[in-house]
């Protein structure tokens, strides 16, 4: 799941200009003020001083022998992958000449247009940014000939590099996807919007503030490297704006059970009676559970309580070296099974309905297959949020998964017993580098602005670690070998077959999900042996799930059993405006409509240990 944030552009793209007019050659750029050179020089001296603090923050863990490893392996993987693309082109000199000719032609057209603009002629642009690309929203990117030239030159070059990957022949699909990924990282990093001298907005601000913005930015850069233990941890939200349990994750409840892996939270009722069958939520351990309880308005948990559900939610431990040997079976037994035992003690109910989100859903599916094999019927129905059980059409994270990369990750985990949270967080952010990396780098370190308070991005930055045995099992058995859908996975001495899972299932996909793509979830729906209600929500991995009815922001599609091809199913599906939450609750209530008196946390055999959201969720990575 991870940093799986659907990020909206910071500003609307300026209207595309198909005709451009040059300003007179001797006219200075509008809005570029002359700086106070005395103040500017003083700020440059302060900038050098702050840079010294950046260097010190970077070197501190190196001097203590605590420097994090892995970057060299990642760089080597990138070089090897792009080298394979280059080999394909070197083998056909004729194609190289054609590709170079296409690039040269575009640059000659750009240069010709630039000369015409200098002479006062109107010209159509050779290359235009995507309308959703907020990097070039400032009017001067089109109005000023120099910045327009830089912008178009960058777009021509980056798109040419992408085409070199796409047109490379005899390249296996995985290598091609990795090459696309690395080219995207490089082109995003080299965008002229990331540099003061080539970004008109940054240049204006720097001149107007006499460089004070750069001093503030360098100070924040040092703080963020310090916070990352020698690696840059870009702040995406104001970290002082939120506190878990105070103004985020505030739905009332109690921790009623705790072991080495989980705290189990029972939420306080909001109705006089409740559905007899309790609800157990199994969130991903790649992120913290409070994505489902951000605030009162967005909280799925609070909404469920308000409908009359007795809600229990697993809060996973943020693991350290003590949890190195905790594998998938441990998370099943000490996680889901322990929660089921605790729910029975707390409520007297032996049957629950369960929700699994992302990798929490994959664990839930594994658990259901194991329970079917041993005739354990404590979970009467299951809901999956953006969950993959068939990884043959896995999302963009698959670029990180092959034998070499997994072996490298395992070597990194071997010395510590876990994968550092920054690794997973960084991987998710790299899937959307312009939105989740470089927009913040520009805002924080070049504009010198503290990011605004945004609960979703605060959660996104609140990363967790991965226990070595668990993470290795997940990568190898699911992403690399796809054993669960093939019926080849073994847990607790049992061979698992999802066809043995015959309980009702509600399988939610998100149409724009890049982590668990809707076609992949559709394919996984066909692995189960019982009735599956496949539903597709609008938006992506997070916003497609956290979509409260009060917002009426997106929509969802329903269309009968998930049979045939996804493309045919979605084309024939019925679109309904608004949130899927009421549709899901109706599905839940229809299965087991009986109600009983509301249950108070801690009133049963299990006493309250502490208030929600508990202690595990507050441990930082």
The residues that are catalytic are: 358
C-alpha separations of 108 from 97, 104, 112, 151, 163 in Å: 16, 6, 6, 15, 19
Contact 371, 363 (CB under 8 A): no
DSSP secondary structure code for residue 156 in this structure? H
Tokens 């043959």 found at: 392
CA dihedral 326, 328, 331, 334 (to 10 degrees): -80
First to last CA, the chain: 16
Buried b (16+ CB within 10 A) or exposed e, 539-553: bbbbbbbbbbeeeee
Buried b (16+ CB within 10 A) or exposed e, 375-391: eeebbebbbbbbbbbbb
- Both tokens of 82, joined, read 């792009």
Whole-angstrom distance, CA of residue 395 vs CA of residue 426: 16
Phi, psi of 155 (to 5 degrees): -65, -40
Q: Is the N-terminal amide bond of 203 cis, ω within 30° of 0?
A: no
Q: Is 264 helix (H, G, I), strand (E, B) or coil?
A: strand
Three-state DSSP string of 97-129? HHHHHHHHHHHHHHHHHHHHHHCCCCECCCCCC
Crossing angle of helices 93-118 and 71-90, rounded to 10°: 100
Phi, psi of 393 (to 5 degrees): -125, 45
């Amino acid at each position: 799941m991870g940093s799986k944030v659907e990020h909206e552009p910071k500003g609307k793209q300026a209207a595309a200009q198909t005709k451009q007019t040059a300003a007179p050659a001797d006219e200075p750029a509008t809005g570029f003020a002359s700086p106070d050179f005395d103040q500017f020089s003083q700020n440059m001296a302060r900038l050098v001083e702050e840079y010294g603090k950046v260097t010190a923050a970077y070197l501190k863990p190196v001097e203590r022998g605590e420097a994090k490893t892995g970057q060299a392996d990642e760089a080597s993987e990138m070089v090897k992958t792009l080298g394979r693309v280059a080999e394909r082109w070197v083998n056909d000199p004729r194609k190289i000449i054609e590709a170079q000719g296409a690039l040269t032609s575009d640059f000659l057209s750009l240069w010709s247009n630039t000369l015409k603009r200098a002479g006062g002629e109107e010209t159509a642009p050779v290359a235009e940014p995507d309308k959703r690309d907020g990097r070039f929203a400032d009017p001067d990117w089109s109005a000023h000939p120099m910045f327009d030239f830089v912008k178009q030159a960058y777009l021509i070059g980056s798109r040419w590099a992408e085409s070199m990957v796409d047109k490379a022949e005899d390249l296996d699909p995985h290598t091609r996807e990795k090459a696309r990924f690395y080219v995207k990282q490089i082109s995003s990093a080299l965008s002229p919007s990331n540099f003061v001298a080539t970004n008109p907005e940054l240049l204006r601000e720097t001149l107007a503030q006499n460089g004070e913005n750069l001093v503030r930015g360098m100070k924040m850069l040092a703080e963020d490297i310090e916070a990352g233990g020698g690696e840059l941890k870009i702040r995406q939200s104001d970290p002082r704006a939120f506190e878990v349990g105070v103004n985020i994750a505030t739905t009332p409840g109690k921790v009623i059970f705790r072991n080495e892996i989980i705290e189990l939270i029972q939420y306080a009722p909001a109705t006089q009676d409740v559905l007899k069958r309790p609800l157990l939520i199994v969130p991903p351990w790649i992120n913290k559970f409070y994505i489902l309880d951000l605030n009162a308005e967005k909280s799925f948990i609070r909404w469920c309580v308000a409908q009359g559900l007795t809600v229990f939610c697993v809060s996973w431990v943020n693991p350290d070296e003590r949890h190195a040997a905790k594998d998938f079976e441990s998370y099943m037994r000490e996680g889901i099974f322990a929660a089921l035992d605790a729910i029975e003690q707390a409520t007297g109910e032996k049957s629950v309905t369960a929700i699994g989100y992302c990798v929490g859903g994959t664990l839930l599916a594994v658990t259901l297959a194991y329970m079917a094999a041993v005739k354990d019927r404590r979970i009467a129905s299951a809901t999956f949020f953006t969950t993959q059980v068939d990884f043959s059409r896995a999302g963009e994270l698959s670029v990180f998964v092959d034998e070499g990369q997994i072996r490298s990750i395992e070597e990194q985990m071997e010395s510590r017993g876990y994968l550092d949270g920054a690794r997973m967080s960084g991987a998710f952010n790299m899937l959307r580098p312009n939105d989740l990396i470089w927009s913040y780098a520009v805002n924080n370190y070049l504009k010198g602005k503290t990011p605004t308070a945004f609960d979703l991005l605060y959660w996104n930055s609140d990363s967790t670690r991965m226990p070595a045995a668990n993470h290795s099992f997940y990568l190898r058995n699911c992403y690399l070998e796809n054993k669960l859908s093939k019926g080849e996975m073994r847990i607790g001495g049992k061979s698992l077959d999802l066809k043995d899972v015959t309980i009702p299932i509600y399988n939610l996909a998100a149409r724009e999900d890049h982590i668990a793509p809707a076609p992949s979830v559709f394919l996984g729906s066909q692995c189960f042996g019982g009735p599956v209600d496949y539903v597709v929500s609008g938006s992506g991995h997070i916003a497609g799930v956290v979509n409260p009815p009060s917002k009426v922001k997106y929509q969802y599609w329903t269309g009968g059993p998930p049979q045939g091809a996804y493309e045919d199913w979605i084309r024939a599906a019925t679109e309904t405006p608004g949130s899927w939450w009421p549709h899901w609750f109706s599905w839940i209530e229809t299965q087991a409509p009986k109600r009983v008196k509301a249950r108070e946390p801690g009133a049963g055999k299990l006493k309250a240990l502490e208030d929600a959201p508990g202690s595990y969720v507050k441990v930082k990575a």
